[in-house]
A and B are shown apart, each in its own frame.
Chain A
């Protein structure tokens, strides 16, 4: 009877893929459309800077923590303060918890059914419940690992989803000794689970050779934050671009000056913007972000077990950049390992129990940029405020957006390989979703809902007439 309207719309929900055939009957064009509108950049105007972490956290239910932390960082810039050291460490700790839970969700709950039950298996069973039947131990492990990441978030923010904990200037509450000890106790099991998963992935590499070759396997630029010394980074550091040979294209870029090197293009057929590396132009400036990009960009992981894993990862491409988006899965698992190792370090650091966690200040800058690494890639929050701290203008560059060009390219590559004739087959549809899912875009949660998958594929001939359509409602 009544529509419930909530201002939390973003892109999760509905995806549409259109394929157009050329004169030769081969796929000439493939587009991945995001058909839902966001509006956050507009309706945040007029709100106060102190509300922004809470508002932007609502952009997503999987990655509220990412927006929360990034928004708080933009707030730090506007207050012109450096959060106390303990607050910095605690924010990092929460972000690592976020990496663990989000990556675990992506790999175990959303993608492992494709990987382990097979691309042509029954879609009604190709989900986490099907996984439970075939590989119950793995499914439970995945749930436990994700729960561990959630516990890290809860220990700090008081709740697992949408904790309103990070604020401009720091964080609201410190970590208690009991919570720290509980987290430390759960760490060994989480480490065991992710190491098992990495072994499992490495054992299956040969089985997935064909998908690895076609799921977004193309040379491109990669972008991520890296620490001053080139180590893998998830919260601070500077921007680095590398190319497919892992040559550093640009390094030490100030994240706050992102507009100097990142352009944003809009296309009439998608509500998602298309960021690109300005120097290379559009669309040649296609770059990828996220786990794959971070591992390609960094010099080392900075923790012993993750560094061992990075060596094996690098060996896939003889030390060059790993260019198949299929290996986002691999990179994701290695990042879980790195995150857990770092969580262990923070839990041993007595400073995380410090009660000095919040710097107070007024409005000291009228513009601020917050940048950090969300699980899916580099996230930018850019605000302008008036003298009273009221938001005048907002620009958000989210990870899924930055992979937009790459996802489109991936869809085309998969369509060219798996489309036979003029019919969209089940196998094609499965692989198209699998290709998109490798990027773990924000719409993944709905794309892999049990028994329902609102992804739709349309095939057009060269004249623009619809010749085949397939969707699961």
Chain B
């Protein structure tokens, strides 16, 4: 039997699939979050240099990673929407943007809370911090540009262009600590290995997976709302059980 790979690329079929997947992603996100926080606060030892302060890393690093990855995924969906003219890709891009912005904000905010006791400053204009701030602005720009154009298909195309051009910023964030002198330290997670106590690593990676699952959950929820809103005049929507009720 040949598998139809494109079956779920139509909003009609994806709407139902997303609805079935959401509870699974939501539950596993909640469970992993509890496990991650338990390891992070109870199992993992204090840091030799930073004492207890370093523990904010368990939310800071996952949200920074997510903010960058989500941007690339959003840009990829936006590009797919432009190239193939598929409705669902552009809807996915719009659905990811608020979550990406949230993670970029959390990354900056927890970074400031961490910076004050350790570095002695809430904020410095170093390359890492500034480029992450630009990432937040790109997300906000994507959302507001999309919202400012009435015709959704035209809004998709304009915002897609912004998303694609802005993706140049992501490698700059990642490599900023290597390319320039920054106050922010270098990467702990490297291709050559992670310079971190094993329990700390377990907590951080568990939280990372939890954040991924959370991001997927809310993106699917949001894309379902977008599908309902945009396709509200179609027959299949008016025949949905939850719409009829």
Tell me, yes or no, whether A binds B.
no
Interface of A toward B, CB cutoff 8 Å: none
Interface of B toward A, CB cutoff 8 Å: none
